[in-house]
Homo-oligomer: A and B are copies of this chain.
Amino acid sequence: EYSDKVFDHFTNPRNVGEIADASGVGEVGNAKCGDIMKIYLKISDDGIIEDVKFKTFGCGAAIATSSMATEMVKGKSIEEALKLTNQAVAEALDGLPPVKMHCSVLAEEALRSAIADYYRKQ
């Protein structure tokens, strides 16, 4: 029921880890399943996301969507990153089973929380 892209990003996730001197860190919990997601951003002086890493205890769908979402915002401006939706990430993965769509919300929320943390620190 999972696409090849979901399996690829699940078994070989991109951008897993932490950034020690992150410009912003976002952490969110998923009310539905209790999982947690943490995203670290390294943002340049002109507002470009130079690096991004994530850590999660979440399921395969959470890992795959975070891997894809971090790939999609790397090198982009903060404004572009704020436009990324969990639907766009799911589409980039050739879809997710409806029952797993809530997992893809973790990456979107953690990303926005990390950007908010960056603004707070400015």
Contacts and interface: CB of A to CB of B under 8 A. Distances in A.
Interface of A: 2, 10, 32-35, 56-62, 97, 99-100
Number of copies: 2
Nearest to A59: B59
A64 to B, nearest CB: 9
Given A57-B59, A58-B59, A99 B34 contact: yes
19 contacts: A2-B57, A10-B57, A32-B33, A33-B33, A33-B59, A33-B99, A34-B97, A34-B99, A34-B100, A35-B59, A35-B60, A56-B60, A57-B59, A57-B60, A57-B61, A58-B59, A58-B60, A59-B59, A59-B62
